[in-house]
């Protein structure tokens, strides 16, 4: 069975108390401990000194640019999670996937505002700590997560929501938020 089909099947299971706890605890562990260690702590404390990489930009520039990226990232991240919880009646985790297709803001701006926010948050932290190797690792992480989204997650959403998702996919950009009023009127293009 393909991964997208397994995810679609798992998302149809009823939410039990154990699944609820795991769906909330797992992202906290992964995004608050695992990814920060992998993407920020190891590069800053081990790779940069070992590779003798200098800090980039000035402290003021890293603070301003990093702060702006972090703020943008947190806004989209929290907004997306709230929309999935309130409108979608679920979470970003397949253990308690949304029961409804969310096409309202911020999902009306792009299909993946959560990943847009997460990527900006991670790039902002890398800029803020001034680590070149961290930036490279966040770039690699971003490519992997976007490829997974494009080739696995979107197939799972097509299976779960069918024509409703396909219509949404045709009219909404993949990752770069564009307000609906600013988009081209031609929706026949494949995104």
Query: What domains, with CATH codes, occur in the chain?
Result: 3-10+18-179 (1.20.120.1630)
pTM: 0.77
Helix (H, G, I), strand (E, B) or coil at 91: strand
Q: What per-residue confidence (pLDDT) applies to 188?
A: 47
Q: What per-residue confidence (pLDDT) applies to 57?
A: 75
Under a CB-based contact definition with an 8 Å cutoff, are residues 80 and 117 in contact?
A: yes
pLDDT in tens, the chain (191 residues): 465 455 445 555 566 666 666 666 666 677 677 777 777 777 777 777 787 877 777 889 889 999 999 999 999 999 999 999 898 887 777 667 788 889 999 999 999 999 999 999 999 999 998 888 889 999 999 999 999 999 999 999 999 899 999 999 999 999 999 887 877 665 444 44
**CA atoms within a 13 Å half-sphere pointing along the CA-CB vector of 165:** 16
Q: What per-residue confidence (pLDDT) applies to 92?
A: 75
Q: What per-residue confidence (pLDDT) applies to 43?
A: 74
Q: What per-residue confidence (pLDDT) applies to 9?
A: 53
Sequence-distant (≥ 6) Cβ neighbours of residue 186 within 8 angstroms: none
d(CA 88, CA 44): 38
Q: What per-residue confidence (pLDDT) applies to 4?
A: 45
For the chain, where are the alpha helices, taking DSSP H only?
A: 3-11, 17-29, 35-36, 42, 48-51, 59-86, 113-129, 132-148, 154-161, 163-171
């Amino acid at each position: 069975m393909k991964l997208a089909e397994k995810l679609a099947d798992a998302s149809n299971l009823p939410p039990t108390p154990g699944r609820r706890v795991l769906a909330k605890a797992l992202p906290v562990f992964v995004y608050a401990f695992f990814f920060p260690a992998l993407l920020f702590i190891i590069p800053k404390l081990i790779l940069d000194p070992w590779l003798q990489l200098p800090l980039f930009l000035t402290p003021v520039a890293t603070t301003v640019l990093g702060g702006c990226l972090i703020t943008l990232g947190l806004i989209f991240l929290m907004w997306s999670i709230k929309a999935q919880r309130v409108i979608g009646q679920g979470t970003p985790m397949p253990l308690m996937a949304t029961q409804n297709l969310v096409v309202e803001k911020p999902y009306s701006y792009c299909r993946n505002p959560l990943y847009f926010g997460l990527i900006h948050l991670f790039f902002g932290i890398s800029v803020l700590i001034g680590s070149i190797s961290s930036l490279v690792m966040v770039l690699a992480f971003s490519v992997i997560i976007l490829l997974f989204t494009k080739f696995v997650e979107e197939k799972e959403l097509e299976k779960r929501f069918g024509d409703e998702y396909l219509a949404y996919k045709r009219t909404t950009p993949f990752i770069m938020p564009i307000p609906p009023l600013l988009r081209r009127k031609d929706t026949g293009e494949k995104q």
